[in-house]
Amino acid sequence: MSLNAFRLEGGGRPFRPRNEPVTGYVHSVETGGTVDGPGWRFVVFTAGCPLRCLYCHNPDICVKTSGTKREVSQVLEEIAGYQSFLKRTGGGVTISGGEPLAQPEFVTALLEGCKALGLHTALDTSGYSVIPVGQRLLDATDLVLLDLKSHDPFIFRRVTGVSHLPSFEFAKRLSDMGKPMWIRFVLVPELTDARRNVGNLADFVATLNGVERVEVLPFHKMGEEKWDSIGRKYELHETPEPTPEEAEAVRAIFRSRGLTVY
């Protein structure tokens, strides 16, 4: 089925791709996502990321060309096949990565196409971008899953290799818009778990408008073998995974600021 002739369910204007096709690099898609936004999600994993997080579980897609070059219309064709089901389950489409903001034109067109299909959209991002994020991209995003790595700038750089400023400025911009956010924080023993770091991050998050929930994600080593396979040293080999009690103690810090925490 060609999207040139595709119409929204229940009528409405047709979605028509641009005359010049917009392309981007896609690593993979997941048609049954249940953790990257509300309801059942169609998740598009873009390739390429400017961060080099020590605990990254997909280090093999940090380079953009590790993905497959695809036209927006091709991806939307695939998404359209799940349109009815996604709507029935209260779900939608999540653009993840890699770092989606590394391909702003592609992601903007993809999000706008999903909105034209009447689908809920979510952006899973670190908030880090070397260029200003366009307003069209944010306008086409219903929910931002924002991964804040650390409040302490030295820990942030240690974790990611980049400055914390773009991510925190992005968070403030979303707050000014009142954009719905789910904040994510990866708890890594001996790295991000310092009580001052967690407390200061909780204080910052509590100042933001639109935060619907905070997710404390315990560090895991499921991507360790991928680091070996691409010839990169995995620096957290000796780092223990947090205990349930340690994770709950960090959740309690966020809850003490009046935040809804998972």
Residues 6+ apart with CB under 8 A from 108: 134, 136, 137, 140
pLDDT digits (tens, 9 = 90+) for 58-96: 888 888 888 999 999 999 999 999 999 999 999 999 999
Q: Which long-range contacts (CB under 8 A, 24 or more apart) does 142-145 make?
A: 142/92, 142/180, 143/37, 143/38, 143/179, 143/180, 143/181, 143/182, 143/212, 144/174, 144/179, 144/180, 144/181, 144/182, 145/36, 145/37, 145/94, 145/96, 145/181, 145/182, 145/184
Phi, psi of 219 (to 5 degrees): -55, 140
Helix, coil or strand: residue 222: coil
Name every residue whose Cβ is closer than 8 Å to that of residue 142 and which is 6 or more positions away in sequence.
Answer: 92, 120, 121, 122, 180
CB neighbour list of residue 257: distance below 8 Å, 6 or more residues apart: 202, 203, 205, 206
Q: What is the pTM of this model?
A: 0.91
8 A C-beta contact, residue 98 and residue 137? no
pLDDT tens digit string along 16-26? Answer: 445 679 999 99
Q: What is the dihedral of CA 65, 67, 72, 76, to 10 degrees?
A: 180
Q: If you search the block for the tokens 């040139």, which residue do you land on?
A: 4
Which pLDDT tens digit goes with each residue over 193-219? 999 999 999 999 999 999 999 999 999
| Coil, strand or helix at 173 | helix
How confident is the model at residue 20, as a pLDDT? 79
